[in-house]
Structure 1
Amino acid sequence: MFVSYKWLQDYIDLTGVTAEELAEKITKSGIEVEGVEVLNEGIKGVVVGHVLEREQHPNADKLSKCLVDIGQEQPVQIICGAPNVAQGQKVAVATVGALLPGNFKIKKAKLRGEESNGMICSLTELGMEGKIVPKEYSEGIFVFPSDAEVGLDALELLNRDDEVLELSLTPNRADCLSMLGVAYEVAAILGREVKLPETDLEPINEKASDYVKIKVEAKEDNPLYVAKIIKNVKIGPSPLWMQTRLMNAGIRPHNNVVDITNYILLEYGQPLHAFDYDRLSSKEILVRRAVDGEKFVTLDDAERTLTSDHLVITNGTEPVALAGVMGGANSEVTSDTTTVLLEAAYFNGQTVRKASKDHGLRSEASARFEKGVDPNRVRPAGERAAYLMAKYAGGEVLEGTSEVDTLTVEPEVVSITLEKINRVLGTDLQMNDVKEIFDRLQFQVSVEQDTITVTAPTRRGDIRIEEDLIEEVARLYGYDNIPKTLPVGSTTPGKLSAYQKKRRVVRQYLEGAGLYQAVTYSLTSADKASQYALEKREPIRLAMPMSEERSVLRLSIMPQVLEVLKYNSARQNDSLAVYETGAVFLSNGEDALPIEIEHLAGAVTGLWHSHSWQAEKKAVDFFVVKGILEGMFAKLGLEDRVQYVQSKVEGMHPGRTAEIRLDGVNVGFVGQVHPTVQKELDLKDTYVFELSLQAVLQEETAPLQYNSIPRFPTITRDIALVVNRETVSGTLKDIILTTGAPLLKEAEVFDLYEGERMEEGKKSIAFSLKYLDPERTLTDEEVTKVHERVLEALKEKAGAVLRG
């Protein structure tokens, strides 16, 4: 809602309160003012000029040489390119030295050899938008009424010496979609009186009811319809002050009758419509639901196909207006109109919204009906419009109205105790303080002991319950004045749980390792739901899915993470590393809620690192991803409790996949995506992992312990073992470390040989063993004794012999 500061002063005394101060007070009282626009900012030196002479420029077909009186001693010559400039006009002139929008300074100039001392301006050159300029002046200069005084400030006559407050209204404050509504609000804030507009008129000795009969079939959609008749109107431009007020509010002026209806829309918040009475070709107005398929041409010359959901105003047979939205071309006011039928009605907001939405016709009128208009302003708005038409269109208003009234409006009555107001707000207000606030709001108030009973005016349709009254007290008392209090009772300071801290460690570690976090949908398709699931259960289907692609709750994060890789790879991002922590959903029975378990999944493809200046590139492989996981488990203090066991997982490479076990329990997997899946997704070699993060983070870890740096030297022995090709190195390593404890500290694989010199079905695995006693220096004899015991255990448990 755009609120003119100057216009607002017609209804309330704003002495001592600037527009900026008013904006701050309105904002603090609960309605946000988004900004205050100074309309003449950056403009000066524009006056009213009188074109004394106009002749064709001698050297240009499209320029005019004008002699203009601008209120100085001598008229000045101005070259003008506007096609509508003519002798005798009163125009806006930017004098030499004037400043126009865009920091455009007017200087003396010569145009095609002729001197020009200023500029005759159009409204757009004075900062107005082209869409709000009257059509007759949209492609030329603006012409003032003939009584405009030469030399006066043109911006003042155009009401550009004004400031406009832009109110950001919430849907419940429809009362402030009018100047009067804002005036009531400001009056309550400032504690001042509201001056209502003048509506007194002298009707002629004819009755409106003799000219038209009103009939309403759809009474629920239109409980009140009031028609006034104004005869002998003279269609012409509306007064300049009215035109400029409309333009400042973003509405284009048309003619005096139409402008008056738009003016009342802004003033009262009540939409009106003016019909050309003679073009109705009937003495009846019938309000009914449209017939399915009925055709109707609106004012924008578009043919509309109506349905039975739409409410129409008819002349008894054919539609002449789409109720509350737009009038019809067959009854619009034109330059030949002499008799006007003025409609003031109360339409159901939902019916208006349906028609507005169906036809894409959202107007100022429909917006107000949708949010709710004051039913008690319907008649006053019509009377005010008739008064203005008599005054500015020379009309003669017929006595009375023709109407249908089945509207029953009862103001809301709400009671509340002073104790509750103070308890909710944390204040210590007295009864007189609260009553004074409601008096300023012009609410009827009665007090009985500690109870306040408020009768809210119909303009305030948002007042319905006790909390609404508390809000009114709070905002007018001043939110800044409400004392600051702390909650009563014991409180627990907020902090991260142990689980949350560990999850944060995981995320920070993975991001430090070069993986980007992804966030994907928990919903997937039925064919992807069970892929890579750590625990197989029946997928849970939504009762009303948005689409088949988002119809089932996921059992694994991996399919979504692979989709992330596919999406980015298709956009030429070849080297990718992503992870996601999120919930998977396991069915818990048909009539029970699913179990949510947090998983961690990651996927890496392309080059792990590339140093082109060193001619070094390393592609991602199994051990890169396994190393990332090992580092993560080390961060969590679980590295000694995790094992990697070769396994087969559907959708994974059969020879490059390992099961991740925590204390012997399967918690996930790591490995390469199966080549056929990679091909389907158009990915290079891709290595992934997924594990139950919940299972990992819920594990208790021992307190961190530090060991002193060894003071004594270690002894290293290397062995090459010949074993069956099916034997895995992890089994051999476990035997070595178990048998060699406590002196044997480390065992690492450093070579694998399966060449021609090996016996069929055999392979050679080489280990480097490190022996250490932190308390003394070991002797060769001690190491040899343990070393031989290790070799013997390898032979007995794994059939491993030293390679000759």
Structure 2
Amino acid sequence: MLVSYKWLQEYVDLTGVSAEELGEKITKSGIEVEGVETLNEGLKGIVVGHVLECEKHPNAEKLNKTLVDIGGEEPVQIICGAPNVAKGQKVAVATVGAVLPGNFKIKKAKLRGEASNGMICSLQELGIEAKLVAKEFSEGIFNFPEDTEVGQDALALLGRDDQILELGLTPNRADCLSMLGVGYEVAAILERDVKLPEPKTASATEKAEDYIKVSVEAKEDNPLYTAKVIKNVKIGPSPLWMQTRLMAAGIRPHNNVVDITNYILLEYGQPLHAFDYDLLGSKEILVRRAKQGEEITTLDDAKRTLTEDHLVITNGSVPVALAGVMGGANSEVNADTTTVLLESAYFTGPVIRKASKDHGLRSEASSRYEKGVDPARVRPAAERAAELMALYAGGEVLDGTATADSLTLEPAVVSVTLEKINSVIGTELTMQEVEAIFTRLQFKSTVDNDTITVTVPTRRGDITIEEDLIEEVARLFGYDNVPKTLPQGAATPGRLSEYQLKRRLVRRYLEGAGLYQAITYSLTNQEKATQFALEKRQPVELAMPMSEDRSLLRLSIVPQLLEVLKYNTARQNDSLAVYETGAVFLKNDGEDLPEEEEHLAAAITGLWENHQWQGEKKPVDFYVIKGILEGLFAKLGLADKISFSAAEKEGMHPGRTAEVTLNGAAIGFVGQVHPTVQKDMDLKETYVFELNLKTVLEAGTAPLQYESIPRFPSITRDIALVVDKNKSAAELQSIIVETGGKLLKDVYVFDLYEGERMEVGKKSIAFSLKYFDPERTLTDEDVTKTHEKVLKAVEEQAGAVLRG
């Protein structure tokens, strides 16, 4: 809602309160003022001029040479390119030295050899949007009324010496979609009176009911419909002050009758519609639901097909308006109109909202009906509009109003106790202070002991329960005045749980390792829902999916991360590592809601290292991603509880995939994506892992212990074992560790040989074993004794032979 500061002064005394201060007070009371715009900011030197002479420029076909009286000692010559400039006009002139929007300064100039001392301006050149300028002046200069005094400040006459407050209204505050509504609000904030218009019209001897009969079939949609008749109107431009107020509020002027209906819309918040009485084709107004397939051509010249969900105004048979949204072209007020039928009605919100949505017509009228208008203003608004039509269109208002009234809407009566008001707000207000607040709001109230009962005016349809009354008290008392209190009693400082700390550790580690965090959709499609899932279950379907691609809850994070890589690779970002911690959703039979399980997944492709100067490039391989995992488990203190074993998994490379186990239980997988999947997604070699993060983070770990730097030397022994090709190094390492006992501190594989000199079906795996005792220096005998046990164990348990 755009609110003119000068217009608002007609309803509330704003003495001593600037527009900026008022905006701040309104914001603090609960309605956000999104901005205060000064319309003539930076502009100066623009006056009303009288065109005394106008002739074609001698050296330019599209220019005119004018002589203009601007109230100075002598008229000035101005070269003007506007096609509609003519002798006798009163126009806006930017004098030499004037400043226009965009800090455009007017100087003396010569145009095609002729001096030009100023500029005759269009409204657009004065900062008014083109869409708000009346059509007759949309492609040329603006003409002031003939009786306008020369030399006056043109900006003041155009209402540009004003400030506009833009209110960001929430749907419940429809009462402030009018100047009167804002007036009530500001008066309550400033503790001042509201001055309301008092319409007075001299009625003719003829009665409106002799000209028109009103009946309503759809009483639930339209409980109140009134029609006034104004004869002998003369269509023409509306007064300049009215046009400027409409433009400042974002409405384009048309003619005096239409402008008056729009002016009342802004003033009262009550939409009106003016019909050309002579074009109605009958003496009857019938309001009903449209017939299926019925058609109407609206004022925008669009033919619209109606349904039974739409409410129409008819002349008894043919629709003449789409109720509350837009009038029909067949009864439009035009230059030849002499008799106006003025509609003022109360339509219910849902039926108007339905028509507005179905036809894509969002008008100032429909937006107000949708949010709710004040039924008490239906008749006063019509009287006020009739008064203005008599004053500015020369109309003769017929006596009375044709009405169809079945409205039973009563003001809401709400009670609340003083104790509850103070307990909710945290104040110690007295009943007298609370009463004073409702008096400022112009709400009638009565007090019975500790309870106040408020009769809420119909203009405030948002107040229906006691919490609404408490809010009114709080915002008028002032949120800044609510006392501040600190919590009482012992306070427990907030902290992260052990689980949350470990999750942060995981994220920091992976980011330190060079992976970027990704956040992807939990919703996926049928094809990807079960891909790479750690646990195969039926995916959970959404009851109302937005699309097929987002219709199921995911069972794995990997498919979404592969989409991230695909998206980046297609944009030449082909070396990328991403990870995500997020939920997957496991369906349980017989239960409505799925089980949420937190997983950790990562995907890496392209080059892992790329040193251009040294000419070194290291592409990602299985050992890179496995190494990242091993580092993560070491960080979490789980390295000795984790093992990797060869595995086969759908969608993964059969020879480069491992199952990850924790204390012997499977928690995830790591490996290369199957080449066919990579090809389908246009990816290079890509490696992924996914773990059940919940299981990992909840796993018990031994307390951290520090060891002193060794005082005694260690002894290293290397062994090369010949085993069957299908025997894994992990199995051998496990036997070695178990047998080595306390003296064996470290074991790792350092060589694999499957060359020509090896027997068929055999391979050689070389291990390095480190023996160490922190309390003494080991002798060869100590080491030999343990080492021989190790060799014997691998021979007996794995069939290994020491390579000669």
Same fold per superposition (TM over 0.5): yes
Change (3 A) 1:22 1:612: same
Q: Distance in 2 between matches of 1:475 and 1:545?
A: 41
Cα offset, 1:571, TM superposition: 2.9
- Following superposition, the deviation at residue 592 of structure 1 comes to 5.0
Offset at residue 117 of structure 1 (A): 0.8
2:282 aligned residue: 282
Q: Could you tell me which amino acid in structure 2 is paired with residue 733 of structure 1? A: Q
Please name the residue that 1:746 is paired with.
Answer: 746
Q: Which moved more, 1:332-341 or 1:534-543?
A: 534-543
Shift of 1:660: 1.3
1:640 aligns with 2:640: yes
Determine the C-alpha separation between the residues in 1 that align with 2:124 and 2:65.
Answer: 22
Corresponding residue SS for 2:747: strand
What secondary structure is seen at the aligned counterpart in 1 of 2:458? coil
Q: Which residue of 2 aligns with 1:501?
A: 501
Counterpart of 1:581 in structure 2 is: 581
> Structure 1 449/152 Cα, relative in aligned 2: closer, same or farther at 3 Å?
same
Tell me which residue corresponds to 2:601.
601
Q: 1:628 to 1:380 in 2, by over 3 A?
A: same
- The one-letter code sitting in structure 2 at the alignment partner of 1:762 is K
Alpha carbons of structure 1 residues 505 and 430: separation in structure 2 relative to 1, 3 Å: same
Q: TM-score, normalised by structure 2?
A: 0.98
Cα–Cα, structure 1 residues 314 and 73, in superposed 2: closer, same or farther, change >3 Å?
same
Distance 1:497 1:776 in 2: 42
C-alpha distance in structure 2 between counterparts of 1:527 and 1:147, whole Å = 77
1:686-697 alignment runs, 5 A limit: 686-697=686-697
Q: Which residue of 2 aligns with 1:654?
A: 654
Aligned position for 1:628: 628
Moved more, 452-461 or 689-698: 689-698
Task: Describe the superposition over 1:476-528 as per-residue Cα deviations: whole angstroms up to 9, x where unpaired.
Answer: 00000000123456553322110011011111111111112222232333443
SS of aligned partner of 2:463: coil
Measure how far apart 1:659 and its partner are. Answer: 1.6
Residue pairs, 1:657-672, within 5 angstroms: 657-672=657-672
What residue in structure 1 maps to residue 800 of structure 2? 800
Letter in 2 for 1:529: A
SS of equivalent residue, structure 2 residue 206: strand
Which residue of the partner structure matches residue 63 of structure 2? Answer: 63
> Match for 2:61: what amino acid?
D
In structure 1, C-alpha distance between the alignment counterparts of 2:23 and 2:527, rounded to whole Å: 58
Map residues 134-173 of structure 1 onto 2, 5 A cutoff.
134-173=134-173
After TM superposition, the structure 1 stretch with the greater mean CA deviation from structure 2, 642-651 or 158-167, is: 642-651
Consecutive unaligned residues of structure 2, counting only runs of 5 or more, are none
Residue 444 of structure 2 corresponds to 444
Superimposed CA distance per residue, residues 564-592 of structure 1 (whole angstroms, 9 cap, x where no aligned partner): 32333333332221212122222322235
1:628-649 per-residue CA deviation (whole Å, 9 max, x = no partner) reads 0111011111111111122222
What does residue 44 of structure 1 align with? 44
SS across alignment from 1:206: coil
Q: Distance in 1 between matches of 2:537 and 2:422?
A: 56
Separation in 1, partners of 2:547, 2:301: 40
The reply to whether residue 195 of structure 1 matches residue 204 of structure 2 is no
Corresponding residue of 2:231:
231
- Letter of the 2:624 counterpart: V
SS for the counterpart of 1:3 is strand
State how far apart, in whole Å, the 2-side matches of 1:691 and 1:54 are.
85
SS at match of 1:175: helix
C-alpha change, 1:177 and 1:423, in structure 2 (3 Å) is same
CA distance 1:489–1:214, change in 2 (3 Å): farther
Distance between the aligned counterparts of 1:647 and 1:337, measured in 2?
A: 88
- In 1, Cα distance between equivalents of 2:526 and 2:264: 59
Partner of 1:706: 706
SS in 1 for 2:424: helix
- The AA in structure 2 aligned to 1:72 is G
Deviation at 1:655, TM superposition (A): 2.1
Cα 1:190–1:259 change in 2 (3 A) is: same
C-alpha distance after superposition, 1:711-767 (max 9, x if no partner): 222222222211111111112222222322322222221111101110111111112
User: 2:702 aligns to what SS in structure 1?
Assistant: coil
Code of the aligned partner of 1:792: K
Matched, 1:476 2:462: no
Residue 350 of structure 1 aligns with an amino acid whose one-letter code is P
- Equivalent residue number for residue 242 of structure 1: 242
Between stretches 5-14 and 592-601, larger displacement belongs to 592-601
Code of the residue aligned with 2:772 in structure 1: it is L
Q: Secondary structure at the match of 1:42?
A: coil
Match of 2:611 in 1: 611
Q: Work out whether 1:304 is the aligned partner of 2:341.
A: no
In the alignment, the residues of structure 1 paired with residue 242 and residue 593 of structure 2 have an alpha-carbon distance, to the nearest angstrom, of 64
Q: How far apart are residue 710 of structure 1 and its match?
A: 1.3
Change (3 A) 1:462 1:488: farther
One-letter amino acid of the counterpart of residue 47, structure 2? V
Inter-CA distance 767–25: structure 2 relative to 1 (3 Å threshold): same
Shift of 1:330: 1.0
Q: Distance in 1 between matches of 2:542 and 2:204?
A: 70
Aligned pairs, number: 804
Aligned to 1:400: 400
| Deviation, structure 1 residue 138 | 0.8
User: Letter of the aligned partner of 1:530 in structure 2?
Assistant: T
Task: Pick which of 386-395 and 567-576 moved more.
Answer: 567-576
Residue identity matched to 1:255: N
- Give the equivalent residue in structure 1 for 2:510: 510
Pairwise CA distance, 1:353 = 1.1
Using the alignment, how far apart are the partners of 1:550 and 1:360 within structure 2?
28
CA distance in structure 2 between the partners assigned to 1:543 and 1:238 by the alignment: 56
Cα-to-partner distance string for 1:21-50 (whole Å, 9 max, x where unaligned): 111111111111011100000100001111
81-90 vs 28-37, which deviates more? Answer: 81-90
Taking the aligned partners of 1:592 and 1:53, their CA distance within structure 2 comes to 85
Residue number in structure 2 paired with 1:556: 556
Partner-residue secondary structure (3-state), 1:204: coil
SS in 2 for 1:125: helix
Per-residue CA deviations over 1:290-347 (Å, capped at 9, x if unaligned) read: 1111121111111111111111111112111111111111111111111111111111
Supply the distance in 1 between the matched residues of 2:73 and 2:547 (Cα, whole angstroms). 79
2:258, 2:738 → 1: CA distance? 98
- Alignment partner of 1:355: what SS? helix
Indicate the RMSD between aligned Cα atoms, in angstroms.
1.5
Between stretches 349-358 and 511-520, larger displacement belongs to 511-520
SS of equivalent to 2:398: strand
What amino acid sits opposite 2:416 in the alignment?
I
In structure 2, do the counterparts of structure 1 residues 757 and 33 end up closer, same or farther at CA, with 3 Å as the change threshold? Answer: same
Q: Distance in 2 between matches of 1:119 and 1:580?
A: 64
Between stretches 163-172 and 195-204, larger displacement belongs to 195-204
Deviation at 1:651, TM superposition (A): 2.5
Q: Distance in 2 between matches of 1:360 and 1:731?
A: 71
Is 1:179 the equivalent of 2:193? no
Residue deviations 1:84-138, cap 9 Å, x none? 1111111111111111101011111111111111111111111100111111111
Residue type matched to 2:753 in 1? Y
Return 716-725 or 207-216, whichever deviates more. Answer: 716-725
Letter in 2 for 1:633: F
Call closer, same or farther: CA 1:175–1:636 in 2, change over 3 Å: same
The residue aligned with 2:759 is 759
SS at 2:62 equivalent: coil
Give the TM-score of the pair, scaled to structure 1. Answer: 0.98
SS at structure 2 position matched to 1:330: helix
In structure 1, the residue matched to 2:342 is: 342
Worse overlay, 505-514 or 485-494 = 485-494
Cα distance between partner residues in 1 of 2:436 and 2:2: 29
Other-structure match for 1:31: 31
Task: Tell me the residue number matched to 2:716.
Answer: 716
In structure 1, the residue matched to 2:110 is: 110
- 1:319 corresponds to which residue? 319
Deviation at 1:2, TM superposition (A): 0.5
Counterpart in the other structure of 1:776: 776
The CA distance in 2 between the partners of 1:69 and 1:99, in whole Å, is 20
Question: Helix, strand or coil: the match of 1:644?
Answer: strand
* d(CA) in 2 for partners of 1:394, 1:555: 75
